[in-house]
Each structure stands twice: as C-alpha cells, then as structure tokens.
Amino acid sequence: MARTTLTGRRAAVVGAGAVAAVASAVAFSPGADAATLTLKHTGTITTHLASQNQDIVFQTSEVTKIDANTFAVSSTITPSDGSAWFKPVGLNLAKFWISIQPTGPATGAVTFNPDGSGTGTLTINQPLNVQVKQVLPFGWNVNLVGTNCKTATTTNLQLTAPIGLDEDGATDIFGPLTLKGTLNIPKFTNCNGLDGLVSSIASGPGNDVTVALGAAA
C-alpha cells in the first residue's frame, strides 16, 4: 500500500491516539488513579499506494482503552475491505480487493510538551498483515489469486498526531484527530502462482497513511 491515508473519524490505528489524549486529561483530574477510559470511534483509513499512485480507502471502527495513570493506549480496530484498479496504461485492467488485518491491538502513549500547556504528541504502533482477497480481470468474475494471498511477513505501521486544546483551552481528548505515518508493504505469497505480479503492484516502501477520526463516542 503506498500512501496510506486514514480518514473519517478516528480510523483504525488513529483511534488509539484519541484515547491516549483522553487518558492524559483524566490523569490530571481528581480521582483518576484507577481509571481506565474506553472510547469508540469510526472513520476511514486512506492508503496511498505509491506504486500505483492511487488512494485506497478503508472504512473502520475502533475501541480504545487508556490507562489514566500511565497514559498507555491500546486500540482494537475493525477495518472494512478497500479496492483499487490496476491500470498500467490508463485502462482498468483488473480490480483488487484489499484487506488490512491487524495481528494485535495498536499500542502507544501520549507524550506531553514540557511547557505545561496540555498539548502533546500521540504515537501508536499497529502490527498488521495485508491480504489481497480478490483480483478480478475487467469483465470477468474470476478471482486470480485464490483465498490466501497475503504479505509474507507482518509489518508495522507507526502513526503520530498532535494533541491540541479544545475551545476552552483544555487538552482535547474528544475532538477530531488526524494521524499520519508511512507503511512499508512486504512481498506477497500464496497468490495462486502470481506472487511476483501481485508484489510488483502492491509491495514497497513509502506508502503514506492518513487516519482521520471524528469526535469520540
């Protein structure tokens, strides 16, 4: 996946970031010692596939938990499938259906700026595999890659986002959040004899990812 863009309301890995912000706010509140906060978000993950110079958008939901004492964040995401056309000469030759498959929760923390302003940076890491679920040639309803075409190794997506202040000047833990990172997509395997072709189309470094999430529920 080249540039991955997570957009919408706190997508996948980004949701964890929002939660981290909440944790910080709670931690500085009275009686927060034993608090674990749970936030829910929906949004989109947009991955810019560098090799094909096109965006792939994944709708997503997530549940994030924040430890108010340590500011540690853990987020579980459930992204939908996304699709893109393979068009090397400007023609739609085949449609790819792609799935992001987390291998565990996204984890991270919020680091606050030393100026005491309440602002900071959220950093989270999401281990994942990428599966190409279908490759359908234009005009044909035949899947060329079988049912287990996925990255040969697990990769890691690191996302960061600034944590700002709300309209009242407090740490904004519930407002919209946008995280960004770059994804390296490994080679693919078990693609029904088309490992090399799929890898040449979808694998490689420099895939920008943006996760945009709305207000927490």
What per-residue string of b and e applies to 27-53 under the rule 16 or more CB within 10 Å gives b?
beeeeeeeeebebebbbbbbbbbbbbe
Q: Tell me, what's the pLDDT at 34?
A: 52
Q: What is the mean pLDDT of the chain?
A: 81
120, 112 Cβ separation under 8 angstroms: yes
Cα–Cα distance for residue pair 184/126, rounded to 1 Å: 12
Helix-strand-coil split of the chain, %, nearest 5: 10, 50, 40
Cα–Cα distance for residue pair 132/96, rounded to 1 Å: 7
Q: Tell me, what's the pLDDT at 91?
A: 63
Q: For residue range 61-112, what is the model confidence (pLDDT) as tens digits? A: 888 888 888 889 999 989 999 998 887 666 677 899 999 999 999 999 988 8
Domain ranges of the chain: 4-213
